[in-house]
Amino acid sequence: MSRRDMAKPLLGHRSTEGDPGITPAAGRTIGVLGSGDFARSLAIRLVCSGFKVVVGSRNPKRKANLFPSAAEVTFQAEAVKKTDVIFVAVFREHYSTLCDLADVLVGKILVDVSNNTEINHHKESNAEYLASLFPACTVVKGFNVVSAWTLQSGARDGNKQVLICSNNQEAKRTVAEIAQVMGFTPVDMGCMSSACEIENIPLRLLPAWKIPIFLALGLFLCFFTYNLIRQVIHPYIRENKNKLYKIPIEVVNTTLPCVSYVMLSLVYLPGVLAACSQLYYGTKYRRFPDWLDQWLLHRKQIGLLSFFCAALHAVYSLCLPMRRSHRYLLIETAVKQAVEKKMNIWVEEEVWRMEIYISVGIIALGLLSLLAITSLPSIANSLNWREFSFVQSTLGFIALVISTLHTLTYGWSRAFDENQYKFYLPPTYTLTLLVPCTVIIAKVIFSLPCIQHRLMRIRRGWEKGRYVKFVLPSATGEYSSGETSSNV
Ligand code: NAP
């Protein structure tokens, strides 16, 4: 690089001087039709970003004092004449009332910011409808995914992405530049046919969370019923004891760790199944079945729900000694022991079991918190791929192993005590161990050098039955190349 090149800043504003075709985004006049909440917030943000703003209202005199003094509030037709880019901050139902402006709108860019009240409410999207009413204008869909509140509070305090689509590339670029100057991140969603999808986005309720939430609720219901039978129904039927008081805290608190533990193992199970499939077919290019694809895509949400249940379990457990029932039972035991003149109630094995059980539980919760924090986009974006994979994959697996130790120390020798089999039902913790132990065993098998090596080759493009040149890192981290034929 020459000295002259090095003197130039790497990043800087693109100069538009001397280029008559390009108007600098900031500084240009932007029109806003409508004077409602969205129009007001938009005008404030545009003014703060250095644009001249002209607002078109049906009643400018009454609305002028609602806008910053730097914005001009005038009649709709007047506003439209003064600018080439106009944000239509009016509900779809009122688009037809703007038809009187058709002549002055010819050749202008209209930004459709509208949303609907229901998913796929109309046959055609609002933006397409607006384009059909004003065929002499260029319509761009955008800004509908940001709320009036986000616009006012600034892009730093809300969703930064602005999804944009249009059939006209130039108009789309102009609106994207405006969004960028306002501090947003424009995302090109392609042509106008994407408008419907963009309009549906603000109406979707946690789309990525539906399956994980139903999974968590399903597991909770199953384990809750199982625990209810063991802890409440069994003593009632067999000993005629009323243990209903256990439902709000004890039964819930024995259910939550089961859900959390199984959910954590379900984060790693699809990876194991994917590896099995790759090993079996000897290729990474074969598509996984849809259900496995979906499962792999939802691992983050499943992991976060596992953390949520674990956190609730920790809070519930801390609250256990606060309960009246606990105090009564404690006093009852103390009185019994006094009556029996038992002085030494210290059971060394029980003491150790409890110490280890709580300690590993705290470590597991700590690791789960770390996994949850690093899955937040702002944190995940600051990690490189190796760091992210180390936390999510290695530390996540360690969390699963430690959670298994937590479960085993909880159970201790109870699995071998026949009194624990209520209605012949084994203790709940023995059931929860099934999936996690399968995952742990599979992971251990996959880490055996012969299998790990084969899996690594497959993941680098090697295929069974094909003669390919491959390059693999050696144990020392150096790359060695070689040629291999099919079934090596
Ligand atoms: P709003 O407060 O009800 O304002 C709508 C404005 O439309 C009115 O102030 C009115 O201004 C104007 N308008 C023009 N012709 C009209 C007519 N015939 N009848 C009634 N009003 C007419 O609604 P808003 O919350 O600002 O929403 C405006 C648009 O932005 C909607 O399409 C909405 O989906 C979209 N949006 C809003 C938000 C948000 O957070 N609010 C977020 C994303 C998208 P004049 O009386 O001055 O003409």
In ligand 1, which atom is closest to the CA atom of 115? 34
Which residue's alpha carbon is nearest to atom 20 within ligand 1?
Answer: 94
Whether pLDDT at 476 is above 50: no
How far away, in angstroms, is 114 Cα from ligand 1 center? 8
**Which amino acid type is present at position 320?**
L
Task: Answer yes or no: is the C-beta of 137 below 6 A from any ligand 1 atom.
Answer: no
Count of Cβ atoms closer than 10 Å to residue 266 Cβ: 23
Which residue's alpha carbon is nearest to atom 12 within ligand 1?
Answer: 34
Tokens 């009454």 correspond to: 62
pLDDT single digits (tens) 35-75: 999 999 999 999 999 999 999 999 999 999 999 999 999 99
List, in sequence order, every residue forming a beta bridge with 141; answer none if it has no partner: 112, 165
**DSSP per-residue letters across 63-129:** HGGGS-TTSEEEEHHHHHHT-SEEEE-S-GGGGGGGGGGTTTTTT-EEEE----SSTT-SSS-HHHH
Which pLDDT band holds residue 458 (cuts at 50, 70, 90)?
Answer: very high
Determine the average pLDDT of the residues in 120-126: 93
pLDDT single digits (tens) 84-96: 999 999 999 999 9
pLDDT value at residue 300: 94
What's the chain's average pLDDT? Answer: 89
Q: Judge contact between 216 and 259, C-beta under 8 A.
A: yes
Whether pLDDT at 488 is above 50: no
pLDDT value at residue 16: 37
CA distances from 251 to 223, 320, 358 (A): 9, 12, 19
CA dist 54 and 366 (Å) reads 54
Task: Answer yes or no: is the C-beta of 228 below 6 A from any ligand 1 atom.
Answer: no
Which pLDDT band holds residue 150 (cuts at 50, 70, 90)?
Answer: confident
**Ligand 1 pocket: which of 32, 33, 38, 59 to mutate (most atoms <8 Å of CB)?**
38
Contacting residues for 250 by C-beta, under 8 A, at least 6 apart: 231, 320
pLDDT value at residue 26: 67
Radius of gyration of the chain from its Cα atoms, rounded to whole angstroms: 32
Which residue's alpha carbon is nearest to atom 36 within ligand 1?
Answer: 114
Determine the average pLDDT of the residues in 385-407: 95
Task: Answer yes or no: is the C-beta of 129 below 6 A from any ligand 1 atom.
Answer: no
pLDDT value at residue 223: 98
Residue that wins the pLDDT comparison between 325 and 25: 325
In ligand 1, which atom is closest to the CA atom of 98? 15
Helix (H) or strand (E) holding 188: strand 185-188
pLDDT single digits (tens) 248-292: 999 999 999 999 999 999 999 999 999 999 999 999 999 999 999
Determine the average pLDDT of the residues in 427-436: 96
Task: Answer yes or no: is the C-beta of 36 below 6 A from any ligand 1 atom.
Answer: yes
Task: Answer yes or no: is the C-beta of 89 below 6 A from any ligand 1 atom.
Answer: yes
Q: Is 167 exposed, middle or buried (0-12, 13-18, 19+ CB in 10 A)?
A: middle
List, in sequence order, every residue forming a beta bridge with 56; answer none if it has no partner: 33, 74
For the chain, domain boundaries: 29-203, 207-460
Strands 72-75 and 161-166: unpaired
Task: Answer yes or no: is the C-beta of 57 below 6 A from any ligand 1 atom.
Answer: yes
Give the whole-number percent of the chain exceeding pLDDT 70: 89
Residues 29-203: name the CATH superfamily.
Answer: NAD(P)-binding Rossmann-like Domain (3.40.50.720)
